[in-house]
């Protein structure tokens, strides 16, 4: 009941009947559960602001009441309505985000002493029973409220993403979620692989490598004989197959002569010719 007495004193001038007192009581329970009042009526107004107090015109209609609330931490909004039926007040609380509603009926004669509306200590009868009824039947439980707020937050985020995808002026993402990823070319595929084999120290079957071997350059050899330049050929096995071998002397006699096209023409040095 902490805080209710202060609220009741602030709204004392607006309380003139038992239903006003009960609406004030229920309002405070809604505020204690994590909501603040935005204003009266069914529709939003430009003057709406979150407050723990009741709006100035909350008790203008003594038969039908309507108050709107918003969660302090989430986006959930509640609409509280109360309708006077004979000697009872029927409350209906609807979550506008999930459209879920709950209701409770409060007997005015059982919970309000109409003769002491100006005295807070004596105006409410069986306040504990009234609190239990409001919390168990009218107010949403904290678990349900948290789940509803999370569902509403997820729905809004999905809606915002859909709006962004439909906006023609929006700068597209690098990799849109619903679009196929671009086909990236292999950096080691031709023609980008030129010289790539040279990065391998040992090379491969097709060539490359960082070790220079004139016998493995890939060009046709002109009968190179490792035993050339000595009287007799080397004994078998002296030079392992594929081994790099430097000849002992000038190349052998089987080496073809120079290409005539590479020789100077006759009289090349005669400047008067």
pLDDT in tens, 53-90: 999 999 999 999 999 999 988 788 999 999 999 999 99
pTM over cut 0.75: no
Q: Are 249 and 227 in contact (CB under 8 A)?
A: no
List beta partners, residue 84: 89
Phi, psi of 31, deg, nearest 5: -65, -40
Q: Which residues of the chain, if any, have pLDDT below 70?
A: 1, 142-153, 156, 158-188, 190-192, 198, 201-234, 236-237, 241-242, 244-258, 260, 273
**What are the structure tokens assigned to 153, written together?**
């937050």
What does the pLDDT read at residue 29? 94
Domains, in order of start, for the chain: 4-146 (3.40.1000.30)
What does the pLDDT read at residue 83? 95
Measuring CA to CA, which residue among 24, 14, 29, 61 is closest to residue 42? 61
Q: Are 124 and 111 in contact (CB under 8 A)?
A: yes
What does the alpha-carbon distance between residue 101 and residue 140 come to, in Å, rounded to a whole number? 9
């Amino acid at each position: 009941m902490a805080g209710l007495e202060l609220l009741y004193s602030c709204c004392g001038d607006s309380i003139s009947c038992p239903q006003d007192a009960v609406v004030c009581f229920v309002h405070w329970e809604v505020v204690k559960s994590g909501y603040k009042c935005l204003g009266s009526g069914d529709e939003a107004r430009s003057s709406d602001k979150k407050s723990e107090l009741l709006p100035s015109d909350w008790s203008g209609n003594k038969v039908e009441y309507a108050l709107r609330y918003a969660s302090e931490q989430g986006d959930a909004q509640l609409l509280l309505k109360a309708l006077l039926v004979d000697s009872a007040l029927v409350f209906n609380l609807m979550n506008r985000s999930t459209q879920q509603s709950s209701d409770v009926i409060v007997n005015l004669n059982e919970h309000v002493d109409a003769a002491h509306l100006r005295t807070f200590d004596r105006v409410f009868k069986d306040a504990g029973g009234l609190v239990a009824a409001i919390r168990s039947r009218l107010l949403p439980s904290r678990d349900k409220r948290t789940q509803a707020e999370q569902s509403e937050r997820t729905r809004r985020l999905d809606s915002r993403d859909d709006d962004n995808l439909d906006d023609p002026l929006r700068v597209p993402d690098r990799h849109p979620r619903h679009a196929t990823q671009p086909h990236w070319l292999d950096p080691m595929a031709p023609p980008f692989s030129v010289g790539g084999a040279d990065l391998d120290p040992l090379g491969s079957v097709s060539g490359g490598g960082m070790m220079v071997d004139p016998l493995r350059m890939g060009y046709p050899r002109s009968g190179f004989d490792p035993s050339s330049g000595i009287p007799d050929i080397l004994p078998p096995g002296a030079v392992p197959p594929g081994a790099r071998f430097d000849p002992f002397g000038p190349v052998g006699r089987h080496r073809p002569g120079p290409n005539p096209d590479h020789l100077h023409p006759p009289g090349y040095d005669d400047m008067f010719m």
